[in-house]
Chain A
């Protein structure tokens, strides 16, 4: 057994106990901290379904060694949501535009687009495409996701 360590996720400190220190942040979030919103797709940084924000930077949770992220400020898709059932502007736009089919890629896309809109409030379609180029969706063909991104940008500026 190894020493426990602490991760700061969505503003709360979580103790990780009796864990193998080689576990990825994705595994620890899902299997140890009860935060299954980040999805385990490829586990090699190709699909973006596990996208999280670490110290203000969009990263794949599968490529982060959890025990090396002690002291980092980690935000998952669950942390974007002020309360359960209370969706963010980006999530509302996904629903309104029908940007969800099977839904597996959706949390990663929501995190990636939230990150983009925080930096670029009115992105062009090209900027949206580049921002989600690391997030694979095999259902939608992306058209409705691009529409949702623009709808979210508009809704945010109307607020």
Chain B
């Protein structure tokens, strides 16, 4: 067994010329499999010592809208720091619900994408914001929209020899939030989760669901319906309770849940509707501030 610990992205990408190499980021999934004997890597590429992968930057409005570019090994704890959290509030909400302090200090945005668990906590946020995944290989760099990056449960569009380098997320103008249901607040895998993001500039609502399908699901019919009911000149506190409930039903209809040891499909469909109704109430209901 060999372990490579490069200190630059270029070195890491060069190492990927060997298709047998396995990429190790925060280790919160990878090492669980190694410890249990389910993964016996022959060659490991550790990203721990690549400082440039752990940085983020706000890209100026040369792009429209402005973006934040997160390096692949930005951790959940990094996402909770105030300067980043105020730019990407729904991502910070999601990061706060991940595991425990120990897990949030280790786990990374790139790892959440590469693992592609149906319950990955940041994935609904990335889907709602229409984030773009930057992928590098010895052949070059390509952009993959999150919607096509996740191809199924624990399956991605990454080819052998490709490394997630960064994720780009647009900065929207409006209310954002993330909600999650599990058996308790800490150390819990989502039974259902939801991200809602309002963009007052384009007058759109984006809503994506987690843990109720093979990957994150955009509730597009519900999004368009809600956007059509809002008085965009004065969006706060303009949506009535029956409309919020109807939005919840539309979102529930978009879910594709299954029964498993964490919950039944029926429970998940009900729960995701409740999460949607509450999130929309926070954004547009009485007392809201969108």
Question: Among the listed B1, B32, B101, which residue makes an inter-chain contact with A44, where contact means beta carbons less than 8 Å apart?
Answer: B32
B102 touches A68 (CB 8 A): no
A residues contacting the other copy or chain, number (CB 8 A): 32
Q: How far is the CB of A53 from chain B (nearest CB, A)?
A: 10
Q: Report whether A63 and B187 are in contact in the complex, using a CB–CB cutoff of 8 Å.
A: no
Query: By the criterion CB–CB under 8 Å, are A63 and B31 in contact?
Result: yes
Given contacts A21-B1, A46-B187, A134-B100, contact A63 B44 (CB under 8 A): no
Minimum CB–CB distance for B256 against chain A, Å: 28
Taking CB atoms, residues of chain B closer than 8 Å to A46 are 187
Return the chain B residue nearest A135 by Cβ.
Answer: B100
Cβ-defined contact, A65 with B44, below 8 A: yes
Complexed CA–CA distance, A59 and B40 (Å): 23
**8 Å CB interface, A94-135 against B:** 112, 115, 130-131, 133-135
Chain B contact-residue range equals 20 to 34
Contact B101 A21 (CB under 8 A): no
Residues from chain A with a CB closer than 8 A to the CB of B77 are 57
Q: A21-B2, A43-B35 are in contact. Are A48 and B100 (CB under 8 A)?
A: yes
Q: Could you tell me if A21 and B106 are in contact, using CB atoms closer than 8 angstroms?
A: no
Partner of B102, one of A45, A67, A71: A45
Indicate whether A2 reaches chain B with its CB closer than 8 angstroms. yes
Given A60-B106, A134-B103: A2 and B31 interface contact (C-beta under 8 Å): no
A35 at the interface (CB under 8 A from B): no
Cβ-defined contact, B102 with A134, below 8 A = yes
Output the nearest chain B residue to A129 by Cβ-Cβ distance: B186
Q: How many A-B residue pairs have CB under 8 A?
A: 95
Say whether A48 contacts B102, CB under 8 Å: yes
Supposing A65-B24, A134-B99 touch, asked if A24 and B2 sit within 8 A by C-beta, the answer is: no
Q: Is A7's beta carbon under 8 Å from chain B? A: no
Answer yes or no: B145 CB below 8 A from chain A CBs: no
With both chains docked as a complex, state the minimum distance between the C-beta of A97 and any C-beta of chain B, in angstroms: 22
Contacts of A64 in B (CB 8 A): 27, 31, 106
Is the C-beta of B5 less than 8 angstroms from some C-beta in chain A?
yes
Query: Does B34 contact A131, Cβ atoms closer than 8 Å?
Result: no
B166 to chain A, nearest CB (A): 21
Query: Are A112 and B31 neighbours in the complex by a CB distance under 8 Å?
Result: no
Whether B41 and A133, one on each chain, are in contact in the complex, defined by CB atoms closer than 8 angstroms, is no
> Residue B154 at the A interface, CB < 8 A?
no
Q: Which residues of A contact B5 (CB under 8 A)?
A: 68, 70-71
B58 within 8 A of partner (CB): no
B residues near A87, Cβ cutoff 8 Å: none
A45 CB contact (under 8 Å) in B1, B3, B32, B40: B32
CA of A2 to CA of B1 in the docked complex: distance in angstroms?
Answer: 8
Residues 1-52 (chain B) with a chain A CB within 8 angstroms: 1-3, 5, 24, 26-28, 30-32, 34-36, 40-41, 44, 46, 48-49
Measured between C-beta atoms, what is the minimum distance from A120 to chain B in Å? 12
5 closest A-B pairs by CB: A134-B100, A133-B186, A68-B46, A21-B1, A44-B32
Instruction: List A residues at the B interface (Cβ < 8 Å).
Output: 2, 20-22, 24, 43-46, 48, 51, 57-60, 62-65, 67-72, 112, 115, 130-131, 133-135
Question: What 8 additional pairs, Cβ within 8 angstroms, besides A24-B31, A51-B102?
Answer: A43-B35, A44-B36, A57-B106, A64-B31, A64-B106, A65-B24, A65-B31, A65-B44
- Interchain Cβ contacts under 8 Å between A and B, 20 examples: A21-B1, A22-B41, A43-B32, A45-B99, A58-B101, A59-B102, A59-B105, A63-B102, A65-B24, A68-B46, A70-B5, A71-B5, A71-B49, A130-B186, A133-B101, A133-B185, A133-B186, A134-B100, A134-B101, A134-B186
